Amino acid sequence: MCNLKVSMRLLSVLYLVFHSTILLSQIGFNRTYDQNGGAEVGKVILANDSSFLVAASILDSSFSVSILLERMDLFGGVLKSMVLRKDSHDLRLLGLKSLIQTQDGNYLISGGIENRATSTRRGLLIKFSQELDTIWLKTYQLGSHMVEFGPILELPNGDIVTTGYYVSSINTNPEILFSKFSSTGEIKWFQTLGTSNSEVGFSLSPTFDGGFYIGAQVERTSSFDKDPYLLKIDSTGAVEWDTIFGGSMADGPAIVTTTLTGKSLVATHFADSTSGNITFYGKPWILEFNELGEVVWQKKYGRNLRGEPSAIQQHLDSTISIVGNYQDGNPSESIVGWVAKTTQNGEMLWEVQFVPNPGSADNGNSYLRGLALISNKSIAVCGFTQPSTGQDLWVAKLDSNGCYDPNRNCWVSTEEYTEIPEGTFKMWPNPAKDRVWISLPEQPMAGTLRFFSITGQQLREESISKSDPREVGLTIQDWAPGMYLVRWEPLEGPTMEGKILVETR
């Protein structure tokens, strides 16, 4: 009986620890870290021990670049920090491009290094231990004038592959570089890919057949004529197919990830304005391609001035998270961080635009660059912000509703191509517990109210006739806590959408 009591007590303790861990892992944060210089880029991964590893480039007042690595707990507290500086009279770091954790538990980053005397560039790989000590650092000229590494992947056998760009000699166009290395960084082979135009590899993702998707950008005749470029290559680097897509102006690079079914999912931005500097005008654009390079679906979101996705990943529940930047209105307005979540077919579930220090008049422009999936419940994002004192590292953890603070109603509803007229679609209370009221447009019209889960599954629908009251009350006691999509589909006029947050009871 005594042993039973001890066992029951142990089980109770284990339950409390496990339950508390789950609750704590869902707590978000939104923090900046002063680097006494210019932090930029920003990559984040979830380590095997459930800590975050954040990497950034740091630019000081003399334009020397250092690489910062910081291990953080799930609340954003810094556990350990390391700064690597490789500057000398002739050499200058170009910063970091990619960060991964290798199978042995250590870390690998990629980037480039420049020789100031000869204006040449070399690719850079650095391996760090779990304690953030340098294991090895290697640079690679590869017989070229300029080389810079971008995204990296580790293969099951420990080999490393990377993309980036390769410039064979002065006054020649950059080509997409694909390279393979041993686990200790010894070059095995490399080759260049692409067309006769200027191309750079920006993203890299494995395929189910042992090959790779490369997301790139091609520049045709000028810097104002750029297009996303997607390639499928086999394990030897041979191109199986490629496709260039986009409009007649400066579209963004293809940021690619592999879906749960082996297709390729691409995030970019579509330039749709000729006013101002057209390099920065456009809307977020998401496309899915099948294994043959054919478009399965595509979505363009919003009517903002500047929408630039920088990372995209698919969750295990098939929903899609995207991060980047957003600027609404005129060019004088600040750039803010942007995070969105869609269904597996690109239907927007929610989006959030936020800054590191809400309420502060000195956020400056804020950029998100990195994305890590923690679970179906939360994500980590990182980037940098530009207050008047310089550029600071920015890291945030958001829950499944896009909130870093569960007490804030921080999501923003959106609909593809359609601006929702303000005041025409209201829901209260929001957040709600047992019952929600929906106020439909004043004009009497028939239609259907539909309710969807965060994964896009329809849960309920209500037919509304012209003679029905404009305020509809619904009982939601059997709904689990979380975010739900509400869609009003009138027989005449535009469809409208909103979100309702059901609280824990």
Q: DSSP class of residue 19?
A: H
What's the predicted TM-score (pTM) here? Answer: 0.74
φ, ψ of residue 10 in degrees (nearest 5): -60, -40
pLDDT at 6: 36
CA distance 304 to 326: 7
**What pLDDT does 12 receive?**
37
Q: Rounded to an integer, what distance in angstroms lies between the CA atom of residue 45 and that of residue 374? A: 9
CATH code for 28-399? 2.120.10.10
pLDDT of residue 60: 65
pLDDT on residue 441: 75
pLDDT of residue 418: 31
With contact defined as beta carbons under 8 Å apart, do 344 and 457 qualify?
no
CA separation for the pair 39, 367 (Å, rounded): 11
Considering the chain, tell me which residue range(s) the CATH 2.120.10.10 domain(s) occupy. Answer: 28-399
CA distance 57 to 264: 29
Name the nearest CA neighbour of 394 among 161, 56, 6, 46.
56
- The list of the chain residues with pLDDT below 70 reads 1-28, 33-41, 59-64, 86-92, 221-224, 272-281, 303-306, 328-332, 359, 363, 375-377, 389, 405-425, 442-444, 454-456, 504-505
Q: Six-digit token pair at 419?
A: 């601006």
Which H or E run includes 6? helix 2-25
pLDDT at 91: 59
Question: Do the Cβ atoms of 29 and 75 come closer than 8 Å?
Answer: yes
> What is the b/e burial string over 388-422, where b = at least 16 CB atoms within 10 angstroms of the residue's CB?
eebbbbbbbbbbbbbbbebeeebbebbbeeeebee
Reading the block at residue 165, the tokens are 């760009």
Tell me, what DSSP letter sits at residue 75? T
Residue type, 114: E
| Distance separating the N- and C-terminal Cα atoms of the chain | 37
Q: Which fold has domain 426-502?
A: Immunoglobulin-like (2.60.40)
Q: E strand or H helix at 5, and its extent?
A: helix 2-25
Residues of the chain with CATH 2.60.40.3080: 426-502
Q: Output the 3-class SS for 99-122.
A: EEECCCCCEEEEEEEEECCCCEEE
Per-residue pLDDT reduced to its tens digit, 440-456: 876 667 888 988 776 56
